[in-house]
Amino acid sequence: MSGLDGGGRGSGRSSSRGGGGGRARGRGSSGSTVTYNPPPPQMAPAQPPPQMAVAPPVPLSGVPFSHPSSSSGVGSLSREVSEKLTMEPAIMFPPRPGFGTVGTKCLVRANHFLVDVADADLHHYDVTITPKVTGKKVNRAIMKQLIDVYKESHLGRWCPVYDGRKSLYTAGPLPFESKEIVIKLTEEDCSDGSSRPAWKERQFKVAIKLASKPDLHYLREFLSRRHFECPQEAIQVLNVVLRAKPSQIYTEVGSSFFHTSLGPRGDLGNGIEYWSGYYQSLRLTQMGLSLNIDVSARSFYEPILVSEFVANHCRLSNLSKPLSVQDHIKVKRALRGVRVKLIYMIYAKTCKIIGVSRDPISQLTFTLDDKRANVSVVKYFREKYNVLCSIVEGQRYTKKLNEQQVRSLLRATCQRPNVREGNVTKMVQVNNFEVEEPITKEFGMHVRKELALIDARVLNPPALKYHDTGRDKIVNPSCGQWNMINKKMVNGGKVDFWTCVNFSSGYWNMSEDFCSELVKMCNSKGMVFRRTPSIAMRSARSDRIDQTLVDVYKESAGLNKPLQLLIIILPDQTGSYGIVSQCCKPVQASKFSNQYFENVALKINAKVGGRNTVLNDAILRRIPLVTDVPTFIFGADVTHPPPGEDSSSSIAAIVASMDWPEVTKYHGIVSAQTHRVEIIQDLYKQTKDPQKGLVEGGMVRELLLAFFKSTRQKPSRIILYRAGVSEGQFSQVLLYEMDAIRKVLKSLYNVYYSWFTFSSFQACCSLQEGYMPRVTFVVVQKRHHTRLFPTDRNKTDRSGNILPGTVVDTSICHPTEFDFYLNSHAGIQGTSKPTRYHVLIDENGFTADILQVLTNSLCYTYARCTKSVSIVPPAYYAHLAARRARYYIGDEMSDGDKVRPLPSIRDNVKEVMFYI
């Protein structure tokens, strides 16, 4: 999943989570702590009336709000969103409709620690450092020097906390509202400990000016549900307070801290190592202020000689020869911006790498100051200085890890739930968030040491329907899994035209035997799979993949028998998606395992238009707010380029159900868009046609038309599962994407009226102003740091994790909004991560139970395996489709604001689940 994000995918502005609330200067009751007893759970009504949590975003009079096409720039999109957010009133997300009651009650522990805060007279000061410094490390060194020297004389003996950028916070007023202080700093005060500075001493002017007085009164009011705007500034102050000490002693990466003293440190290969650390963030929850802490690990450069790094990174044994073009590019990318330490004689200094020579330095010469003699770089520095150049310790490696490095990192950091829970507790003890600490004591903060004990429920798994000709027609999964023994696919696909290409040199003669067994398995599970290929199978070298696939395509087209399926056996590559293909890893394929053949058969059946299983309640029309009226369920996600790629496009994908009421089969479409833009730009678009004039289109329109064609129904209800959106982007994404969806619906329903002539359908397609399907917009977040641990070791899955179906909507969830955590899958290794679902708009009136049970049930319909999955399939499929589409663009880069469109996908491919 792309990225499936809960707090780290970019930043944004959310009116319901911040704004000016923290700048109010009034005071509430004093002497109390920021804790409260939450109201008792409310019973959700059996059939609540639909509610419009967010009014349709109609532009203000005279201020049009247009949607950019796929080629529009990130600048114009940002301006449009900013203008829209400024024009619209604060977006209020739907309130929680009550708490769920379905399921077996249980207790779990969460890595959340309750935070008590006494009343404090918070003050926020703006900090301006001249000359400007870009690095937070130097900024912190400057402010540390200022506090150490002037605390008694200038700062009123307060212990300020600094965020490393522009803000300074105190627990009381400084003796001034504005002041400028001069600080003298040597590089030793802010470097890695080198003995000789690059500059002996620099002078900085620090201007401090009162900005606001964040008030904890509004924080208490918000937690007590008497104030509806989140006091974001007060939360920011408290977050900085809790980060003050670790920021000084550990390496800070986003919201996480790393150090060699915090846990294991190990080699990842190619000059990269991993460090252990932890994540921390202050959150507003139903139980009050909560500090979310989780153990973590990140990749860092090894502090080795640069020459050693080059040898390791490119696996070179001889550095005396010039680097190849590929190795030079690889090294240049890996070392660009890396700080290195130059050691010569008894001195050392640090500098940053800005480029790498392709030729060995022994072959590089320069002219000495006398302008008469040329000398090699190696000879000059070796004879005069005896220089050694090594990488400075503690620098994060931000490039994409290769597969071997990812496996090594996962293997090193994988922790069973009981081990992870113990390590989380140790991190709290290591940081000693106690009132005895000078800073936390001054701000009146205290973090409790016990993990939160919270109420949870375990939802029952859904019954799954298989074909009536199989011995087992209905299956009830156990602990999140089942198997295909004695079962047949509920709808077997048909494959008449197929072939196989083998690119594996190690298993050159395997194709016929492998395909024979695979076809046999597909037929035994209910498919109609022709036993002989329509085009002769063939083997080819891995360096001729493109040409071989072109030859297969041409041969198929020449026989007027387009291939329905291309089976590919190859080492590392993937197939072309002009044809539906199934790629098989030769090592796995060569085992001829029945389990492997079953799994491949499941994928093939979905790819050729079949269905493996459906929810029995869907067949019986017993799924509330889904099977009663035509319902369009779709998932959306945007995946971004890996770290280090600065201009390649982001990929948006949407998949939508085409088989109401079963909601199991999803068509998918993809679109390239501006680099690292999270909002999906092509949901709705308008183009000018010389003959037709203004033509409306977009991804949602295309899928809705496909739904109409497939079901002969117009949806009365739309449910969107949107993956990859962080909390800071909620307002932006909802505002823009809901506006696009409404424009699509309005344009499409006007057109749709003319397609049918029978009166009964015309009557239900009223074109009255404002009539549209009701929408429920749910964000799916996987990149969060909440973990749930079992309290009863006898009620766990085989990996020691909480049971599949465990849902939490109390204590650690949002104080007022409609969200919940759902662990819908069984753990395999390590600690399971629940998925967080947050409802941003709900016009359909879902209760907590209905939405939670629906989401959990859908997680059992994933087509690739006989297990429940951790993310609701529409969002999962959208992520897979976007990731698959990245192969279409290869190494193409976007040109500034212009995005190269993706190659078109053939209709026969687009209409099946090619991406799984």
For the chain, the structural domain boundaries read: 306-391, 492-608
pLDDT in the model for residue 81: 61
Structure-token match 């991993």, residue found: 274
**DSSP sequence for 268-323:** EETTEEEEEEEEEEEEEETTEEEEEEEEEEEEEE-SSBHHHHHHHHHT-S-TTSPP
Structure tokens at 140: 């912190």
Which is nearest to 85 in space by CA: 745, 743, 734? 734
With beta carbons less than 8 A apart as the criterion, state whether 863 and 662 touch: no
- CB-based burial label for 511 (10 Å; 0-12, 13-18, 19+): buried
What region, left, alpha or beta, does residue 121 occupy, with left being phi > 0 and alpha being psi -120 to 50 degrees? beta
pLDDT at residue 800, as a whole number = 94
Helix axes 232-249, 216-223, angle to 10 degrees: 110
Residue 867 is classified by DSSP as B
Supply angle C-alpha 58, 64, 70, rounded to 5: 100
Nearest to 910 by CA among 584, 632, 657, 577: 577
- Residues with Cβ within 8 Å of residue 890, at least 6 apart in sequence: none
Fold of 306-391: paz domain (2.170.260)
| Rounded mean pLDDT for each run of 10 residues along the chain, 916 residues in total | 43 40 37 44 38 36 38 58 58 93 98 93 96 89 94 95 96 96 78 45 94 92 84 93 92 94 94 96 95 96 93 87 88 91 75 86 79 79 80 92 91 92 92 70 91 98 97 96 96 96 89 96 97 94 89 86 88 54 90 94 96 98 97 96 81 96 95 94 92 91 93 94 95 94 85 39 39 91 96 93 98 96 94 97 97 98 97 98 85 59 82 90
User: pTM, whole model, 2 decimals?
Assistant: 0.88
DSSP classification of residue 58: P
Q: Hey, what amino acid is at 575? A: G
The DSSP string of 656-719 is EE-STTT---EEEEEEEESTT--S-TTSSEEEEETTTEEEEE-HHHHHHHHHHHHHS---SEEE
The full 3-state SS of 340-392, as one line of letters, equals EEEEECCEEEEEECCCCCCCCHHHCEEECCCCCCEEEHHHHHHHHCCCEEEEC
Q: Specify whether the CB–CB gap between 134 and 186 falls below 8 A.
A: no
3-state secondary structure of 571: coil
User: Do 878 and 666 meet the contact criterion of CB atoms below 8 Å apart?
Assistant: no
Are 186 and 204 within 8 A, CB to CB?
A: no
CATH architecture of 492-608: 3-Layer(aba) Sandwich (3.40)
CB contact at 8 A, 351 and 339: yes
CA gap 719, 701 in Å, rounded? 15
CA gap 534, 516 in Å, rounded? 14
Tell me which residue has tokens 């030079």: 328
Residue 580: CB atoms within 10 A of its CB come to 22
Residue 166 structure tokens: 């522009």
**Number of residues written out for the chain:** 916
| C-alpha gyration radius of the chain | 30
End-to-end C-alpha distance for the chain, whole angstroms:
12
Alpha-carbon distances, residue 530 vs 495, 551, 600, 681, 772 (angstroms): 6, 22, 16, 42, 45
Scan for tokens 């070392």, then name that residue: 335
